[in-house]
Amino acid sequence: MSATVKTPSRVVMCPSCSTKNRVPAVAAGVPRCGNCQNPLPWVVDTSDADFAAVADKSTIPVLVDVWAPWCGPCRMVSPALEQLATELAGKLKLVKVNADEAPAVSRRFEVQAIPTLVLLNHGQTIVKQVGAAPIPALRSWLTDHLPPHEAESAQEDDSSTRSVGP
């Protein structure tokens, strides 16, 4: 019995300059283009084994797409989600979970029907939606619920240099 080993990275074409970049499933901060430094779309396939590392530990909000290969509406909503991940590059990580291979993730989010979409921030559920929707509806659902964008610079703990008070 051999476990399926998922590719830990995928090659993504930079939407700004068309350079091909290898984007890892897990990284500190957000992946950026090696050529133009713009944030890259971040789309990761995962399952129970590495969900915590890929989704819960992400420093940017995560959209979890619980889907299955036999689910027609899932196949319709998938390209829309990937497009939104491109539009929201640097602000959102799209994490796709095959429900058949991820019983623990399915239980955790009480998945009754698919697709189920869950927006997570630092491992906390912000909002959940069941069923496919057209891309404009998905876009406004996401932008309505995305937490305010945290400082894009990597210096998160640089509070000592911030001026305090009046």
Binding of Zn ion by 35 (CB under 5 A):
yes
Token pair of 166 as six digits: 């009046």
Nearer to Zn ion, 33 or 77 (CB): 33
Q: Taking CB under 5 A as the rule, does residue 16 contact Zn ion? A: yes
DSSP per-residue codes, 114-154: SSEEEEEETTEEEEEEES---HHHHHHHHHHHSPPPPPSSS
CA-based Rg of the chain, rounded to a whole angstrom? 17
CB of 41 to Zn ion, least distance (A): 11
For Zn ion, which stretch binds (CB under 5 A), given 11-19, 87-95, 102-110, 118-126? 11-19
Residue 86 makes contact with Zn ion by CB under 5 A:
no
Secondary structure (H, E, C), 63-97 = EEEEECCCCHHHHHHHHHHHHHHHHCCCCCEEEEE
Q: Which stretch binds Zn ion (CB under 5 A): 33-41, 92-100, 111-119, 135-143?
A: 33-41
Instruction: Write out the two tokens for 9.
Output: 């990275």
According to the binding rule CB under 5 A, does residue 36 interact with Zn ion?
Answer: yes
Active site residues: 71, 74
The piece of 27-35, 77-85, 100-108, 139-147 that touches Zn ion (CB under 5 A) is 27-35
**How do strand 93-98 and strand 62-67 relate by DSSP bridges?**
parallel
Calpha distance 105→108 (Å, rounded): 5
Minimum distance, C-beta of residue 34 to Zn ion, in the bound complex (Å):
8
By CB under 5 A, tell whether 19 contacts Zn ion: yes
Chain positions contacting Zn ion, by CB under 5 A: 14, 16-17, 19, 33, 35-36
